[in-house]
Amino acid sequence: MPLEFGLKDFIDIFLVALMLFYCYKVMKESRSLNVFFGVLIFVVFWLFVSQILEMKLLGSILDKLVSVGTLALIILFQEEIRNFFFTIGTHRQVESLLKLIRRNKKDNKKTNKDDIMPIVMACMSMSKQKVGALIVIERNLPLNDIIRSGELIDANINQRLIENIFFKNSPLHDGAMIISKKRIKAAGCILPVSHSMDIPKELGLRHRAAKGISQETDALAVIVSEETGNISVAYKDTFHLRLSAEELERFLTEDRL
């Protein structure tokens, strides 16, 4: 009986190839490429044994291993799976829908310069003195786990308070400050560190932490470099380096507090 190959089969093969390419990309970024190739070889061998050779005994053993292995892979790559669904959730169309739903809630919470300028002025002051700082501004996704990793503050946004927290001899100097709902919620917080190979070598641990939080959430991270005094922003897995006061203000005024 001749094999029939139609449009549905082409779409099926294309989607599987796309899924494999995305898995390859994720594994490469997380430095788990050998695991990806190992799993791929095992799946090909399993399909060859069970579907083509139709070996019932060996095929049933491999079927059991696949069932257990699927659960093991979910546990092993839970961060990558979480990032996959986060990427879907932050897709432009989905994000636009969420903004439409939340519009009524945000109407009474418009960002104004009274909320923004203390952050901008503090960053400019620390930049001149080459005081390192990392400020994370929560957006739609809550950062409760990150907040609990540091010291709770829950204070109004204040320039002097920000500068005092990041003062070189302060015990909270090395952690991240979290700003949520127009308040400084916590300081000295621990952020997930990005292992991306695309980060320039001259950027330090603060930039890697900022990149990490921007990969896992929709938060905006402001970094002041201790070595150069340069001000940068990490947002949606992208760096915006060497910002001026006006550029930083523009980033923060787009209803992100």
In tens digits, what is the pLDDT along the chain, a chain of 257 residues?
455 667 787 888 888 888 777 776 666 655 566 666 777 787 788 778 777 777 777 778 777 777 777 777 677 666 666 666 665 555 544 455 555 445 544 444 445 677 889 999 999 999 999 999 999 999 888 898 899 999 999 999 999 999 999 998 888 888 999 999 899 999 999 999 988 877 888 888 999 999 999 988 889 999 999 999 999 999 988 899 999 999 999 888 875 55
Give the tokens for residue 212.
């990490």
The pLDDT of residue 27 is: 63
What is the topology classification, in CATH, of domain 112-252?
A: YojJ-like (1 (3.40.1700)
**Inter-residue contact 19 to 27 (CB < 8 Å):** no
3-state secondary structure of 167: coil
What whole-number distance in Å separates Cα of residue 81 and Cα of residue 34?
A: 18
Domain boundaries, the chain: 7-89, 112-252
DSSP class of residue 141 equals: S
